[in-house]
Amino acid sequence: MIGLTLKHLRYFDSLARHGHFGRAAQACSISQPALSLQIKELEGMLGAPLVERTARQIRLTQFGTEVVERARAILRSVDELTDLARASQDRLVGRLRIGVIPTVAPYFLPDVIGRLSLHHPELEISVRETVTTRLIEDLNDGRLDTAIVALPVSEPALAEEKLFDEHFVLVRPGADAGQPVPSPEVLTEMRLLLLEEGHCFRDQALSFCNLQSAPPREVLDASSLSTLVQMVSAGIGVTLIPEMAVPVETRSASVSIARFSDPQPSRTIGMVWRKTSPLSAQLIELAGELRSGPGTKQRNGIGRSVKQS
């Protein structure tokens, strides 16, 4: 088809994902009129409308739904060709698209970026921070090369490589320092502050408290670990956070930190990527580099700084 380009397909893919011309244009780093023009050109070349336009959002037509699936398959294939060329160089070069969950990104990512910049100067790093389910979707759709998440993800199409383990600690108001550390059963009777639904850390904390089903009324939700700790500092309740977050999130909060009795709640952090990725060998090597860095610090450094209160 004369005139059809990958740019048309990428713009349409973005529009389909965001459901809004303004947000899609922003994601593509172009103006909204320019994006609209590209979509109209694509509709003209295909001879049928791809979207239904309303004042607030867009909806894909039945034809548009079929087209976007084929467009994504084409874009994945093009990306794999690029990855294949990069893989042939036996080292990481070009753009590396990394996804990271929010309960890891602020604490682990700065060291990761620093190490990659030092040891792989030819690498251009692109980061996306969001919850696990969206990262897995982006990986499967070819929008990410790898992601750092809590394992296991149990996705048949994805390879997993462990980086490190870390414990969870209890955050209480500063006035509670020295009080006995509650058991998981006692925690269920307290006002427990957790991340909002969608965060895997929320599910892990609920599991530790034996609250796999709907949490009790006294559970309150927040959008970040920082908010949780500040709520505890204000005397609203108690919460659990991963060890790696302790130095950052407690430095300006009047809280006390305590370890639980063994077996302590914990999680495993690792890297995942598509098993079919041409970059698999390089990503395995990268996981080895990261495993010998911040993960060791989390186990041996932060762990010693968490004092029983």
Domain boundary among 78, 109, 133: 78
As a whole number of angstroms, the distance between CA 214 and CA 245 comes to: 26
Q: Write down how long the chain is.
A: 309
Asked whether residue 140 is assigned to any structural domain, the reply reads yes
As a whole number of angstroms, the distance between CA 277 and CA 79 comes to: 10
Residues 139 and 91 in one domain: yes
**Structural domain boundaries, residue 50:** 6-78
Domain boundary among 35, 55, 78: 78
Two structure tokens written together for 297: 């610090």
pTM listed for this prediction = 0.73
Compute the CA torsion angle 27, 28, 31, 33 (nearest 10 deg): -100
| The pLDDT value given to residue 308 | 45
Asked whether residue 137 is assigned to any structural domain, the reply reads yes
Asked whether residue 1 is assigned to any structural domain, the reply reads no
Asked whether residue 181 is assigned to any structural domain, the reply reads yes
Residues 178 and 250 in one domain: yes
As a whole number of angstroms, the distance between CA 83 and CA 209 comes to: 43
Residues 39 and 187 in one domain: no
Residues 13 and 138 in one domain: no
Find the helix packing angle between 105-119 and 280-291, rounded to 10°. 110
Give 10-residue mean pLDDT values along the chain (309 residues).
83 89 88 92 91 82 92 83 67 84 93 87 89 92 92 93 95 90 85 86 84 55 90 92 94 92 92 91 90 54 41
Residues 146 and 14 in one domain: no
| The pLDDT value given to residue 27 | 84
Residues 101 and 29 in one domain: no
As a whole number of angstroms, the distance between CA 276 and CA 80 comes to: 9
Residues 38 and 110 in one domain: no
Asked whether residue 147 is assigned to any structural domain, the reply reads yes
Is 235:173 a contact under the CB 8 Å cutoff? yes
Domain CATH number, residue 228: 3.40.190.10
Residues 242 and 196 in one domain: yes
| β-pair type (158-173, 266-274) | antiparallel
Residues 250 and 274 in one domain: no
What total of structural domains would you count in the chain?
Answer: 3
| The pLDDT value given to residue 299 | 45
- Work out the angle at residue 232's Cα, subtended by the Cα atoms of residues 165 and 260, and round it to the nearest 5 degrees: 40
Two structure tokens written together for 52: 């239904």
Residues 127 and 151 in one domain: yes
Asked whether residue 139 is assigned to any structural domain, the reply reads yes
82 contacts: CB under 8 Å, gap ≥ 6: 94
Domain boundary among 78, 95, 110: 78
Work out the number of other CB atoms within 10 angstroms of the CB of residue 148: 23
Residues 38 and 127 in one domain: no
Please classify residue 251 by burial: count the beta carbons closer than 10 Å to its beta carbon, then call 0-12 exposed, 13-18 middle and 19+ buried: exposed
Residues 102 and 227 in one domain: no
| The pLDDT value given to residue 215 | 52
